[in-house]
Amino acid sequence: MTASVAVNDPPALEQRRRLAALPWGWIGPLAVSALAGLLVFHRLGSPHALVWDETYYAKDAWSYLHYGVEHNWHAGRDGEPANAYFLAGHPVAGLAEGGEWAAHPPVGKWLIAAGIAVFGAGPFGYRAAAGVAGVLAVLILARTARRMTGSTVLGCAAGLLMALDGSWLVSSRMSMLDVFLLLWVTAGFGCLVVDRDRTRAALAARLTGAVYASRNGPFVRHGWRIGAGVCFGLACGTKWSGLYVMAVFWVLAMLWDRNARKAAGVERPWRGMLKLDLLPSLLGFWFLAGAVYVASWWGWFVSGTGLQKALFGQVVPGYQRNWAERHPSGIWPSFLDPVRSLWHYHAITLDFHDGVTQPNPAQSWPWQWPYLGHPAVMYRTTFQAGQDGCRATKCVAEISNLGTPVLWWFSIAALVSMALYAVLFRDWRATAAVGGYLASWLPWFPAALADRTMYSTYTLPMLPFAVLAIVLLFDGIVTPYRDRPVRRALIWTCGGAYVAAVAVNLLYLYPILTAQAVPESAWHARLWLPGWT
């Protein structure tokens, strides 16, 4: 028996060492992302229609490929006849004259255009980039949560919870802008978390055994903050609402710098942050983000010029591109006319957003978003028996922008817990989760009180921070029992059961998230709250 143990143990130990040496910090998140990709890309081309605001963004993206700017279309309120021509593969037949006004900046539409360039202008093509963006957001959140908790399992759980959310799934399967905003906000936040860790390590290394004449501490480079500036610039270049999240996290980053200096033993951490961190952050964060935002309008800047002719083969001035030439200024030099025109374009767009107050059956208010009070129904069609495989008297196919209730409802308790944790223990992770959630949510309240029309699709940037709150709450519960294996195993089992419950909830709702035809009775059974109809 002794000889057997001596012979058999070394290979087993070696195998365990090899498994432990694998880069699970990447393998786990990539596996979760692969699962997310399966959820997104299965039947991505269905329905064969321009769903909800795809009627704008898919056609605008096609215009970007051919003109560099939004082109005008022959389209009424229902998008026809341009939509029919577009879906039939003859988009040129639906074009009108001149450039078209657009309510949002270009970044998201350029990314949709990239999908069309690779896969064609059909439904799969104009949705492909959204699918990729959704999967990348899952990967980034998993890696960020892993860094924040120090646990690969919890990092993977965060990515998996996002991939099991219905609103994430719907947004990742449609050529709309919200999923791109989610991607850049999550990526910008992830860069700041890495920068926080690198800053603290650099300060600790440089102050160990060193004496600085200045009591403010040394200057530290923030390379990852530059990445955050790029990401948040792209977020604002997708939707202006990215600015709120950017501002909140910049303030948090400054506080992290101050706290890093204090933890490293700097005598005057506030003064050190203000003198050595504030100005570089204004340049490497705000100025860079602004430059990225302006650069994203390059197609509009070159429109109406010979460069547009060289790049796209034709000249179509973008909307308001020549406004400054028609309204000369006695103050500004003429070479700034494009900038003045862009400023005027933004003023028009801001006035439009402030004036969108027409009632809409799909609209919802911000106070309804956390509990999923009124998700937007983006697509619905009915079938009679025998049509498209319908085996009931009547079937319904629907796409509802509905988050997974087991996730969103529990996240309310998790966020309240994290808010208390942030106040009582000044935990930076809890502060970040709550701060990101509130920055994505509270700015909509003033507009709502002014009767601005808004929809549940705006909630998507809240999702990663709701997920982080859940994961951090679990981490806070399990940490005191790390040396008590029985209770620790019980807590982990409860956590696994919760993730399983979220998965079951998503699978149950899956038909009304992806336009799968179900009997009308089964459709009604999935409408849990009155507002879901």
Per-residue pLDDT tens for 326-354? 999 888 888 899 999 999 999 999 998 88
Least confident of 69-83, 99-113, 384-398: 384-398
Q: Cis peptide leading into 47, omega within 30 of 0?
A: yes
What does DSSP say about strands 71-73 and 95-99: parallel, antiparallel, or unpaired? Answer: antiparallel
Domain ranges of the chain: 177-319, 323-355
Please give the Cα distance from 462 to 117 (Å, whole number). Answer: 31
Residue 260 has pLDDT above 60, yes or no: yes
Please give the Cα distance from 5 to 20 (Å, whole number). Answer: 22
Mean pLDDT value across the chain: 93
Please give the Cα distance from 86 to 126 (Å, whole number). Answer: 11
Per the model's pLDDT, the better-predicted residue between 208 and 413 turns out to be 413
Q: Are 376 and 456 in contact (CB under 8 A)?
A: yes
As a whole-number percent, the residues of the chain with pLDDT over 70 amount to 96
Q: Are 195 and 225 in contact (CB under 8 A)?
A: yes
Q: Are 494 and 478 in contact (CB under 8 A)?
A: no
Residue 1 has pLDDT above 60, yes or no: no
Mean pLDDT score, 276-298 = 95
Which residues lie closer than 8 Å to 170 by C-beta, 6 or more apart?
Answer: 378, 399, 400, 401, 402, 513, 514
Q: Cis peptide leading into 81, omega within 30 of 0?
A: yes
Q: Most distant CA pair in the chain: distance in Å?
A: 98
As a whole-number percent, the residues of the chain with pLDDT over 90 amount to 84
DSSP letter, residue 75: B
Quote the pLDDT of residue 5: 43
Please give the Cα distance from 30 to 159 (Å, whole number). Answer: 10
pTM of the model: 0.95
Q: Are 278 and 254 in contact (CB under 8 A)?
A: yes
Quote the pLDDT of residue 213: 47
Residue 502 has pLDDT above 90, yes or no: yes
Q: Nearest Cα to 257, choosing from 426, 437, 425, 428?
A: 428
